[in-house]
């Protein structure tokens, strides 16, 4: 059965600057290459879900500009329902500037733009998209107040909610009350719980802390090492696949989108879904760019053989 995934999130035009190494404060470096592509955590996650086989809808906001139209068309290219993307008349479309070094590591500067203007009204207008989904995903590149409203609608209609608390920020406790699964990386998890992630025992301690905050299910992604999960049925660590990383941009977003495409709403297949998501992410890091690097279902399956 095909999962239905709705993503509430950001739409950014990404500009990537390729450099030999990261600059020091006050230093000027030449860039070796410059390219632009569709991105934003929300858009990346939606594309990853769609390419991995999910029926995907998007809730977000663009500016009244060519960048916004470019973002909408980019999502449509992956057969994503864009009818719940609103237009802001006063603020431009979000953008991100990515510094990418020769080791494949990146530093990212983000201009929120219209992403920061997503309001309760946009969420309410997209109520049907939320009600009819199996999963609703939100991140922190759009306001938490909008995510709370969306998650409330989801929970009232039996929809499983996934909160990707990235980039790291202080979480409104009310949002956690409506979050079924929280998916931080190890740094974000430590920021939110105050417990440093160093080993499995510390991951279990993070899960216990999130449970105290109201979230019963936790997935911590640990870069090239793999992912830890904790649910009512138990906890385990799923190792990542060893590959040569070229560009880590969108690796985490690919992971979450791919996961949502395969996960059962009762989480009964979480270990298998995590392996699928790790495989998808391992393909993404071997390619340049955010959205262009996200694999299709067929590519993920082929890599599994």
199-218 mean pLDDT:
96
Q: Is residue 252 marked as binding?
A: yes
270-299 mean pLDDT:
94
Q: Is residue 52 marked as binding?
A: no
Q: Is residue 194 marked as binding?
A: no
- Report pLDDT for 224: 86
pLDDT score of 142 more than 80: yes
Q: Is residue 287 marked as binding?
A: yes
Q: Is residue 33 marked as binding?
A: no
- Report pLDDT for 104: 83
Q: Is residue 90 marked as binding?
A: no
Tell me the CA distances in angstroms from 38 to 46, 117, 174, 271, 277, one per residue in order.
Answer: 12, 19, 31, 31, 21
- Report pLDDT for 90: 96
- Report pLDDT for 173: 93
Which of these is catalytic: 88, 128, 253, 272?
A: 253
224-247 mean pLDDT:
93
Return the percentage of the chain with pLDDT > 90, whole number.
87
- Report pLDDT for 34: 93
pTM for this prediction: 0.93
Regarding predicted confidence, which is higher, 167 or 127?
127
185-196 mean pLDDT:
94
Q: Is residue 284 marked as binding?
A: yes
217-232 mean pLDDT:
94
10-17 mean pLDDT:
93
pLDDT score of 139 more than 90: yes
Residue 248's pLDDT band, with cuts at 50, 70 and 90, is confident
pLDDT score of 281 more than 80: yes
The CATH number given to whatever domain includes residue 227 is: 3.40.1190.20
**Containing structural domain, residue 248:** 4-23+31-303
Residue 196's pLDDT band, with cuts at 50, 70 and 90, is very high
The per-residue pLDDT for range 253-265, each reduced to its tens digit, is: 999 999 999 999 9
Among this protein's residues, is 88 annotated catalytic?
Answer: no
Q: Is residue 289 marked as binding?
A: yes
| Residue-averaged pLDDT of the chain | 95
pLDDT score of 305 more than 80: no
Question: In the chain, how many domains are there?
Answer: 1
pLDDT score of 121 more than 90: yes
3-state secondary structure the chain: CCCEEEEECCCEEEEEEECCCCCCCCCCCCCCEEEEEEECHHHHHHHHHHHCCCEEEEEEEEECCHHHHHHHHHHHHCCCEEEEEEEECCCCCEEEEEEECCCCCEEEEEECHHHHHCCHHHHHHCHHHHHCCCEEEECCCCCHHHHHHHHHHHHHCCCEEEECCCCCCCCCHHHHHCCCEECCEHHHHHHHHCCCCCCHHHHHHHHHHHHHCCCCEEEEEECCCEEEEEECCEEEEEECCCCCCCCCCCHHHHHHHHHHHHCCCCCCCHHHHHHHHHHHHHHHCCCCCCHHHCCCHHHHHHHCC
- Report pLDDT for 127: 98
């Amino acid at each position: 059965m095909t999962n239905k995934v709705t993503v509430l999130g950001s739409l950014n035009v990404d500009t990537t600057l390729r450099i030999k190494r990261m600059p020091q404060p006050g230093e000027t470096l030449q860039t070796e290459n410059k390219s632009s592509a569709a991105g934003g955590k929300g858009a990346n996650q939606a594309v990853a879900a769609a390419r991995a086989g999910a029926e995907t809808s998007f809730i977000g906001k663009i500016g009244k500009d060519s960048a916004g139209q470019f973002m909408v068309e980019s999502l449509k290219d992956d057969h994503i329902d864009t009818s719940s993307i609103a237009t802001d008349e006063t603020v431009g479309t979000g953008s991100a500037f990515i510094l990418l070094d020769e080791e494949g590591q990146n530093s990212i500067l983000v201009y929120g733009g219209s992403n920061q203007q997503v309001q309760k009204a946009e969420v309410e207008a997209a109520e049907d998209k939320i009600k009819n989904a199996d999963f609703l995903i939100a991140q922190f590149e759009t306001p938490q107040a909008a995510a709370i409203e969306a998650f409330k609608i989801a929970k009232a209609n039996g929809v499983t909610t996934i909160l990707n608390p990235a980039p790291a920020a202080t979480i409104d406790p009310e949002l956690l009350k409506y979050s079924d699964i929280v998916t931080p990386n190890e740094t974000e998890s430590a920021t939110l719980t105050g417990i440093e992630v160093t080993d499995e025992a510390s991951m279990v301690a993070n899960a216990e802390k999130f449970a105290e905050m109201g979230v019963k299910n936790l997935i911590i992604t640990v870069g090239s090492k793999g992912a830890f999960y904790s649910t009512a049925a138990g906890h385990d660590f799923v190792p990542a696949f060893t590959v040569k990383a070229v560009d880590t941009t969108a690796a985490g977003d690919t992971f979450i989108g791919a996961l949502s495409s395969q996960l059962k709403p009762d989480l009964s297949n979480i270990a298998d879904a995590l392996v699928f998501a790790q495989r998808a992410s391992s393909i993404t890091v071997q390619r340049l760019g955010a959205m262009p690097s996200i694999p299709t279902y067929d590519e993920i399956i082929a890599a599994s053989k």
